[in-house]
Amino acid sequence: MFRILIMLTGLTLINFIYGCVYPSRAQKNALKRAKERTYDVIVVPGVPLENGKWSRTMKGRIYWSKYLFDIGVARNVMFSGSAVYTPYREAEVMALYAEAIGIPKENIYTETRAEHSTENIYYSYYKAKELGFETVALASDPFQSKMLRDFAKNKISQDIGIIPMVMDTLNTIEPTMIDPVINFESLLVKDFVPITKRESIWKRLRGTRGKNIDYSVADAAK
């Protein structure tokens, strides 16, 4: 009972924080606009494994992508993320979970270069373009969606859609969510070194602001 109480308290706190940074009405309006069209692909930023399994944040992002796929807002899903804090590429881990909960494998793509949120949307956008996808949207939790909105619109393209999670919707489908058990050993990155050992805190801060991006990728995709 105590663990359940803690979990519910945590969920309430998360919903409160998300509501502050991206009000519920704004989330629902963004989803309403998204339902008026279909995106060729949605980009879902990566999250590291937590004690060998998905965290609540990863689970939420993956289930949000499945919801958008199921209702026809997204034709395909691209997970983005390198091996940053754990010896597993976040995009590949999330792809396995996505397939396990019902997104068809042929509709799942990965981008494994990104190590920061800004890089998630940047490298994924241009990989999507190289694959021939014309319409692209970012689909993530409200906090990250808010954080990346200006960067995506001003540094990449005004046409990028932003579809933050609607927490009420996720809460509604939560009883149907499953927790698949997956063996990730085939994804293990040899000679892995976490970003905290490879980069100074200042370089990592630059990365969160998009200052470490290889902007020549945009030229190559044209």
Q: What is the pLDDT of residues 37-61, one digit of tens each?
A: 999 999 999 999 999 999 999 999 9
For residue 198, report the phi and psi dihedrals to the nearest 5 degrees: -95, -30
Which of 28-32, 82-86, 212-216 has the highest average model confidence (pLDDT)?
A: 82-86
With CA atoms as reference, report the closest residue to 97 among 182, 28, 19: 182
Rounded percentage of the chain residues whose pLDDT exceeds 90: 75
DSSP string, 77-113: EEEE--SSSSSB-HHHHHHHHHHHTT--GGGEEEE--
Q: Give, in words, the CATH class of 26-221.
A: alpha beta
Confidence (pTM): 0.87
**Banded model confidence at residue 85, pLDDT cuts 50, 70, 90:** very high
Tens digit of each residue's pLDDT (9 = 90 or more) over 100-145: 999 999 999 999 999 999 999 999 999 999 999 999 999 999 999 9
Residues 171-178, mean pLDDT to the nearest whole number:
94
pLDDT of residue 11: 41
Tell me how far CA of residue 142 lies from CA of 26, 31, 217, in angstroms.
10, 12, 27
